[in-house]
Amino acid sequence: MEFKGSLIHLKGSLMEFKDSLIHLKGSLMEFKDSLIHLKGSLIHLKGSLMEFKGSLIHLKGSLIHLKDSLMEFKGSLTGFKIPNAQFSMPYDK
């Protein structure tokens, strides 16, 4: 999974950060059978699902497997909780 120069926008433009704030190391994220494909330049988060231009992905524990402490984001925790892991993001009003 790579974020190249693209921005992640949360509903209402609450948060905006560049890929330099996201630290992904090696194969820290495991996606079963390539269920998630990042396409387009923008990712919009709405409620409890991710909208990737042209396709919807519902966040479910069985779809996304993240191991403890593998994903590092700068800033405070918000939002998503996956069994045995956390999806956290910097929050900026």
19-46 pLDDT tens trace: 434 444 434 444 433 444 444 334 444 4
Distance CA(78)–CA(75), nearest Å, equals 9
Distance CA(37)–CA(35), nearest Å, equals 7
Select the highest-mean-pLDDT range: 38-42, 58-62, 86-90: 86-90
Q: Kindly tell me if the per-residue pLDDT of 90 is higher than 50.
A: yes
pLDDT on residue 88:
52
Q: Residue 60 corresponds to which amino acid?
A: K
Task: Give the Cα-Cα-Cα angle 31, 91, 10 (nearest 5 degrees).
Answer: 60
Average pLDDT over residues 41-55: 41
Distance CA(82)–CA(17), nearest Å, equals 22
48 backbone φψ class: left, alpha, beta (φ>0; ψ -120 to 50): alpha
Q: Kindly tell me if the per-residue pLDDT of 6 is higher than 50.
A: no
